[in-house]
Amino acid sequence: LFTMDPPPVSSSFHSDSDFCPECGSILPLPGTLDIVTCPRCGFSIDVREFEGKVVETSVEFHKLGTTAFLVSEEEGPEFQGPVIDRRCSNCGHEGMAYHTRQMRSADEGQTVFYTCTNCR
């Protein structure tokens, strides 16, 4: 007896259902179609694969004027990062400490924060 069932889907790697199992790209949210198609490689997956999946997100707000990543004022610029030759736009002093943070998604560049060694 021969059956006409399609062969099992073979993927390049094992991943969460939010990601394409062929190329690793983030899959779009299921819509009105019966399939979800990867925008990068065209791999298609049945929309029923997403049944019962719950995505939870949360946002934490801090008080205005506070940030979780700034160094306290008692600590010197050596704790804030390397010092470079850059003129402060506030006091005109030559010498700024800097540090970087990944503020957006991984495919975006880092944000560079400068702190004047004179006036902070």
Is 39 assigned a ligand-binding role in the annotation?
Answer: no
* 65 in any annotated domain: no
* Block residue for tokens 């190329």: 23
Using one digit for the tens of pLDDT, what is the confidence trace for 73-115? 555 544 456 888 888 888 888 888 888 888 888 788 888 888 8
Kindly calculate the radius of gyration of the chain based on its CA atoms and give it in whole angstroms: 25
* 43 in any annotated domain: yes
Quote the domain boundaries for residue 106.
Answer: 83-116
The number of folded domains in the chain is 2
- The whole-angstrom separation of Cα 109 and Cα 15 is 25
* 110 in any annotated domain: yes
Using one digit for the tens of pLDDT, what is the confidence trace for 29-72? 888 889 999 999 999 989 888 888 887 778 888 777 655 554 45
* 107 in any annotated domain: yes
* 94 in any annotated domain: yes
Q: Is 72 exposed, middle or buried (0-12, 13-18, 19+ CB in 10 A)?
A: exposed
- Kindly report the pTM of this predicted structure: 0.38
Is 4 assigned a ligand-binding role in the annotation?
Answer: no
CA dihedral of 50, 29, 105, 69, whole degrees rounded to 10: -70
* 72 in any annotated domain: no
Is 18 assigned a ligand-binding role in the annotation?
Answer: no
Is 7 assigned a ligand-binding role in the annotation?
Answer: no
